[in-house]
């Protein structure tokens, strides 16, 4: 008699587990993907190439990083985007990738 109660309890707990797994999967599927605060590795690698093509002939990486500085509120980045709009041959999208590269902690060269 005891083994029947244990089997029924195991089946009940298994069904509850599967139900909650399904509910969890449904909830996670409905949530929007979180945006990353930092640019991804492909964007930084692209920025490194663009920096080499458009900036490195006149500017060093260290001097550009100092000019970009840390920007907690985003105003410095906006100023640099506006400046780069009329500076050099890079497009606006390329300028943003270059700034992502300069803002990275340890970008590849």
Regarding predicted confidence, which is higher, 98 or 35?
Answer: 98
pLDDT for position 109: 44
CA angle 44, 62, 56 (to 5 degrees): 70
- Largest Cα–Cα distance in the chain? 86
Regarding predicted confidence, which is higher, 104 or 90?
Answer: 90
Please write the tens of the pLDDT for every residue from 54-70.
888 888 888 888 777 66
Task: Provide long-range contacts, Cβ within 8 A and 24+ apart, for 91-94.
Answer: 94/50, 94/54
Which range has the top average pLDDT, 19-23, 68-72, 74-78?
19-23
* pTM reported for the whole predicted model: 0.53
Query: How long a stretch of residues is the chain?
Result: 109
Domain regions of the chain by residue span: 1-34, 41-103
| Count of CB atoms situated within 10 Å of the CB of 14 | 10
How far is it, in rounded angstroms, from Cα 18 to Cα 24?
10
């Amino acid at each position: 008699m005891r083994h029947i109660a244990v089997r029924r309890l195991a089946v009940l707990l298994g069904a509850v587990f599967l139900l909650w797994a399904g509910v969890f999967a449904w909830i996670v599927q409905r949530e929007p993907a979180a945006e990353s605060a930092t640019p991804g590795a492909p964007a930084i690698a692209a920025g490194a190439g663009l920096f080499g093509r458009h900036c490195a002939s006149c500017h060093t990486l260290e001097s550009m990083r100092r000019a970009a500085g840390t920007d907690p509120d985003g105003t410095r980045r906006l100023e640099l985007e506006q400046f780069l709009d009329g500076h050099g041959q890079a497009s606006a999208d390329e300028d943003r990738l270059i700034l992502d590269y300069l803002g990275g902690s340890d970008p590849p060269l």
